[in-house]
Structure 1
Amino acid sequence: MALSLQLGEFSLPDWRPAELSWIRARHASLGAVASRAEKPSSRFNLKSIELQRAAQRGGVAAVMPLLTDRLAIRVCANLWADVDSPNFRQNCPPTQELLDQFETVGLPLSSLTLAALLRAYFDHFDRLFQGDMLKHGQTFLRRHLNARRAGQSGSDLDKVRSAQDWLFSESAIQATVSSTRQRYSDLEEAWRAWGLRAYRAGRFAQRCQAIFYIEHLEQIDVGADTAVFAEVTQKSVARLPYGEGKTIGVKVLEVLIDRSADSQLSDAWREAILEIAGDPRLPPSAPSYQRWWDPVGPERVRRMQGWMSQLDIGLFLEVLEEVGKQSSNAELQRMFPARKQLLTAILETGAVVNSRLFLSREALSYVKRQYPERQLNVFGRLSDASKSVIYMQVGSVHLVEGTHSFRIYIYPSLPADCIVFQHDKHPINPLDLGPDLERSLYDPGTPKSQYRHFASTHYTNLKWVYEAIRVLRNAGVRVDETQVLSASQLARFRRETTAPSAQPKRRMQTPKAPFRDDGNTIVSIRQTLEAAASPLYATEISEKTGIRIVKVERAMFSRPDLFKRNLANKWRLK
């Protein structure tokens, strides 16, 4: 049923100005209140400037005489809390005398003053309340929270008071985290319940969150990736104190390294560790080493260096194989299996305690496509376009191996200032790691017959592998030679290196006339070698050229200008 309501005609009289005056007065009064709420009063600003100047001039002693009324102590509390007044906090931090002055002048503390002190506590925490003052400040805040009357609507101050037993305890951070785990699903829910939402970005909350991060890393599957790494690798978080004199970053290193002790270090965990601490193979005097690696102890450093060495060796072999494929270099491809098997066998001994990979320009370009830019500083850089070199400390000896025609070296010792340990030198010439390093270890003019280290070219008969294994075994590193050499190769090398009880008879040799090139010999041999798809033995060259060759060294053809001289001096032709 519809209801129809009819109204008669009516009119309203005009308002007179006098009748609107009370509305205008109320509007002006509300505007003034709003303006004061948005911006401190001129008295507040003047007092703030006065206290800051006094603190800059004379610290706490100069500020104390100015705290004579409630406005002054509220200004002081706000300066402690204000993010824009770091100089005041530094020049005039809270002291027992200042807090006593607060109680002498300002009792009971106003809600605004108490709220400012809580903001100073939660936003700056141990950066502001240092040493014993942290405990004094906590006692002060608890006393004045308890002195307040409980509000009807459950204000934030009342919520903070309800959680005071852990928020202001001696171990406030750990106690707050424990209480959160007992009562709530996460810190965000706890902050809402305890009236701390305004302090979620403060130092107190950061330290609580960091504890959550550590506990999370202690519980996830070993090697698993997690979004927490994006947080703990930030410098501002990693440098937060954790307890026991450690920082969050150091604790993260300990957890990740210890939990990976019985397994391989995953890529995600390795990247997180390197992002926080950098390469553990830096000199102990390096600032980053002292900040991060020195506190975790030598055993964890050794374990991390071993994992990094695995990465270096794997990457070196990957680069070696890739370069061989891309260049279609038959010589590189021939040498790759033996190098891979030897380095893998050395790695499996567990004796590799340190390493460093030096990448050529081509290899570095390849690696940049595989790894984040921030991790490339762990690699040395060579001036050569193609040669790469790896250094390894294996037990007590030092091994240097390279790609292409680079020889393998095993040194009984290296000086501390050796170029392989100089992380700040880039780029490096491969010669500095090869023959120049070799010569630098001996007095000028020392004949090679008196050298005390092992050096060898990568001969096709793999005798260099056998000799390298023998040198390592003499140094206490037992490499499983059966992983590298066949049974027949081992038997042959053992026969060759076993000294008989009697000296063998020396056969008389007919002196050979010096080699003379008839103009066609070298050209014929060179053309035959260049046309071959793979390395040729002496007998094969003899068959193709009709020139009887007893011994061939393919390296002699690396430079045309040395070919003739090398052929005459190094080969025996008939």
Structure 2
Amino acid sequence: MVVLQLVQLYFREHDHLSVGEKGLTEFLGTILSQQIAEIQSRTSIQGRDIIAFIHRDDWLVGNGGPARLVEKCLETGLPLDEFVSRLGLDGYMDGRFGEVSRAIYYIDELGKIPVGKKHAVLNELVKDRVAKAPYQGNLRVGHAALKVLIDRTEGEPSELWQDVILMIAGDPRVSGSNRQFAEWWSPLGDDRVNKVRGWLAKEDLKLFLEAVEQYGLESDDESLNNMFPARKQFLQGLFKQGVVRNSRLMLGSKAEFFVRRILDKEMLSSYARMDGPMSDKAVIYLDCGDFHIVEGSHSFKIWIYQERPDPSLANYEKNYYTHSDLTITLPWQYRKDHKKKRYAAITHHPTTWRKKVLEFLVDHDIELEWPSLFGKGEWKSYKNQHGIPIKDARRLRDYEGG
């Protein structure tokens, strides 16, 4: 009777046993295996109860019991509930052991549903008790789910799957020392982290454009409103070409207010903060691989660098920026670190800023699909006025740096 009570405790509490005392789940499993072997050694009759079953297959109370149960279920091709019923375990699956088993079973289901589509299994996986259920080794069910969601997605993810990823693990664009990052993202590896950060760059752009547009409308800033469509088309054109690999959003307190008022709970993105003369501005950093851009609202210039201007823009250790950081310290540090690499700080004059940006890019051997950086009909007008961008070595001396 004592052993049966301990068996019930094991199945009811399972991994929760180790919350108060580390390793208690495994220890109880070992005790049960030993005691059941002792009980069965006294009889030659092979019963069909839980004692006989554990004696025959003691993996059930060994490390990773739920995972082994699901593995054996999948080998039969039977639904989990039917497989459990055939084993005679129905009465033992209402506790934590059954919950963990079903959570692991969801991972197999997750690998079968259409990519990016809605499914009941997603609603289960975002539940904290499911995501944190033990899976294999030190990994949890949430880690396994994240791997499947990320690896199965090619190109842009659906908004639904992206939201599920963020609800389970949080935003990966935070400091590597952040507890949430260490808990959820570090075990997934750099490739998956960078893949998701690339997806979220689009979210950063969305927030940047929301802040700029809304501020322009509410402040009735005519110059900002007139310039906004061209900036929006240029940045969106970079994304459409797939050159943006990572991003960093910076919001002043006023810009943050506008974005939060519009998006409220939908806002999942991580961002750095600005204050002082930058309180009404929004700035976005884009890692485009062969070049890097720091673009801001209002009169903030568009800065183009051949190399990443500052590691903190991508590793999220720094989460507060001033006007001086972005316009003085950043270019100074760049000149110091990249002596032979150039950059340009281009003022947003309506008739010339895109011409200067394109000239910088082509002069440094960067070729893009130029028409997608312009609005409808604008590329044709640009070509008639300036021609197709062509490298000119004489312009190189005009760029700063190097």
Shorter chain as denominator, the TM-score bin is 0.7 to 0.9
**Aligned match for 2:345, one of 447, 451, 455:** 455
CA contact (8 A) 1:400 1:408 kept: yes
- For residues 164 and 367 of structure 1, do their structure 2 counterparts lie closer, same or farther at Cα, with a shift above 3 Å needed? farther
Where do residues 54-73 of structure 1 align in structure 2 (5 Å cutoff)? none
Q: Say yes or no: does 1:116 pair with 2:9.
A: no
**Aligned match for 1:128, one of 24, 39, 45:** 24
Amino acid at match of 2:156: Q
Q: How far, CA to CA, are the matches of 1:118 and 1:475 in structure 2?
A: 70
Q: How far, CA to CA, are the matches of 2:160 and 2:51 in structure 1?
A: 39
CA contact (8 A) 1:420 1:433 kept: no
Where do residues 71-110 of structure 1 align in structure 2 (5 Å cutoff)? none
Q: How far, CA to CA, are the matches of 1:217 and 1:389 in structure 2?
A: 37
- The corresponding residue for 2:302 is 408
**Aligned match for 1:387, one of 258, 265, 281:** 281
Amino acid at match of 2:213: E
Amino acid at match of 1:327: S
Query: In structure 2, the residue corresponding to 1:482 is in which secondary structure?
Result: helix
**Aligned match for 1:342, one of 234, 248, 252:** 234
**Aligned match for 1:241, one of 134, 137, 141:** 134
Deviation at 1:400, TM superposition (A): 0.6
Query: In structure 1, the residue corresponding to 2:173 is in which secondary structure?
Result: coil
CA contact (8 A) 2:116 2:153 kept: yes
Where do residues 166-245 of structure 1 align in structure 2 (5 Å cutoff)? 168-169=59-60, 172-178=65-71, 182=76, 185-187=79-81, 190=84, 194-195=88-89, 197=91, 200-202=94-96, 204-243=97-136
**Aligned match for 1:268, one of 160, 173, 182:** 160
CA contact (8 A) 1:387 1:430 kept: no
Query: In structure 2, the residue corresponding to 1:364 is in which secondary structure?
Result: helix
**Aligned match for 1:158, one of 43, 49, 53:** 49
Deviation at 1:499, TM superposition (A): 6.0
Deviation at 1:346, TM superposition (A): 1.4
**Aligned match for 2:358, one of 466, 469, 492:** 469
User: For residues 25-45 of structure 1, what are the alpha-carbon distances to aligned partners after superposition, in whole Å with 9 as ceiling and x for unaligned?
Assistant: xxxxxxxxxxxxxxxxxxxxx
User: For residues 271-295 of structure 1, what are the alpha-carbon distances to aligned partners after superposition, in whole Å with 9 as ceiling and x for unaligned?
Assistant: 2212222222334444433433333
- For residues 372 and 495 of structure 1, do their structure 2 counterparts lie closer, same or farther at Cα, with a shift above 3 Å needed? closer
Q: Say yes or no: does 1:144 pair with 2:39.
A: yes
Q: Say yes or no: does 1:357 pair with 2:252.
A: no
Amino acid at match of 1:479: L
Query: In structure 2, the residue corresponding to 1:352 is in which secondary structure?
Result: coil
- The corresponding residue for 1:399 is 293
Deviation at 1:425, TM superposition (A): 3.4
Amino acid at match of 1:413: E
CA contact (8 A) 1:177 1:212 kept: yes
Deviation at 1:141, TM superposition (A): 2.9
CA contact (8 A) 1:397 1:412 kept: yes
Deviation at 1:115, TM superposition (A): 1.4
CA contact (8 A) 1:139 1:168 kept: no
Deviation at 1:454, TM superposition (A): 0.8
Where do residues 321-332 of structure 1 align in structure 2 (5 Å cutoff)? 321-332=213-224
Q: How far, CA to CA, are the matches of 1:114 and 1:188 in structure 2?
A: 26
- The corresponding residue for 2:400 is none
- Farther-moved stretch of structure 1 (192-201 vs 399-408): 192-201
- The corresponding residue for 1:253 is 146
Aligned residue pairs total: 375
Deviation at 1:267, TM superposition (A): 2.1
Identity, in percent, stands at 29
* More relative contact order, 1 or 2 (CA 8 Å, 6+ apart): 2
Q: How far, CA to CA, are the matches of 1:296 and 1:149 in structure 2?
A: 49
User: For residues 479-530 of structure 1, what are the alpha-carbon distances to aligned partners after superposition, in whole Å with 9 as ceiling and x for unaligned?
Assistant: 21122252342354359987699xxxxxxxxxxxxxxxxxxxxxxxxxxxxx
Amino acid at match of 1:221: P
- The corresponding residue for 1:548 is none
Deviation at 1:177, TM superposition (A): 2.3
Q: How far, CA to CA, are the matches of 2:166 and 2:125 in structure 1?
A: 12
CA contact (8 A) 1:358 1:382 kept: yes
Query: In structure 1, the residue corresponding to 2:285 is in which secondary structure?
Result: strand
Deviation at 1:337, TM superposition (A): 2.0
Amino acid at match of 1:339: R
CA contact (8 A) 2:146 2:165 kept: yes
Query: In structure 2, the residue corresponding to 1:119 is in which secondary structure?
Result: helix
Deviation at 1:406, TM superposition (A): 1.1
CA contact (8 A) 1:166 1:179 kept: no
Instruction: Give TM-score scaled by structure 1 length.
Output: 0.56
Deviation at 1:451, TM superposition (A): 9.7
Amino acid at match of 1:460: P
Q: How far, CA to CA, are the matches of 1:442 and 1:310 in structure 2?
A: 29
- For residues 129 and 408 of structure 1, do their structure 2 counterparts lie closer, same or farther at Cα, with a shift above 3 Å needed? same
Deviation at 1:355, TM superposition (A): 0.5
CA contact (8 A) 1:397 1:475 kept: no
Instruction: Give TM-score scaled by structure 2 length.
Output: 0.76
Gapped regions of structure 1 (runs ≥ 5): 1-110, 444-449, 502-574
Gapped regions of structure 2 (runs ≥ 5): 395-402
CA contact (8 A) 2:363 2:390 kept: no
Q: Say yes or no: does 1:480 pair with 2:369.
A: yes
User: For residues 199-227 of structure 1, what are the alpha-carbon distances to aligned partners after superposition, in whole Å with 9 as ceiling and x for unaligned?
Assistant: 6332x323312212212222222222345
Larger Rg: 1
Where do residues 371-386 of structure 1 align in structure 2 (5 Å cutoff)? 371=263, 373=265, 376=268, 378-383=270-275, 384-386=278-280
Deviation at 1:401, TM superposition (A): 0.5
- The corresponding residue for 1:21 is none
- For residues 245 and 357 of structure 1, do their structure 2 counterparts lie closer, same or farther at Cα, with a shift above 3 Å needed? same
- For residues 158 and 421 of structure 1, do their structure 2 counterparts lie closer, same or farther at Cα, with a shift above 3 Å needed? closer
**Aligned match for 1:312, one of 204, 217, 236:** 204
- For residues 188 and 472 of structure 1, do their structure 2 counterparts lie closer, same or farther at Cα, with a shift above 3 Å needed? farther
CA contact (8 A) 1:191 1:197 kept: no
- For residues 499 and 247 of structure 1, do their structure 2 counterparts lie closer, same or farther at Cα, with a shift above 3 Å needed? closer
Q: How far, CA to CA, are the matches of 1:174 and 1:479 in structure 2?
A: 49
CA contact (8 A) 1:150 1:158 kept: no
Q: How far, CA to CA, are the matches of 1:297 and 1:478 in structure 2?
A: 31
Q: How far, CA to CA, are the matches of 2:143 and 2:7 in structure 1?
A: 30
CA contact (8 A) 2:3 2:32 kept: no
- For residues 145 and 116 of structure 1, do their structure 2 counterparts lie closer, same or farther at Cα, with a shift above 3 Å needed? farther
Q: How far, CA to CA, are the matches of 1:370 and 1:201 in structure 2?
A: 43
Amino acid at match of 1:465: R
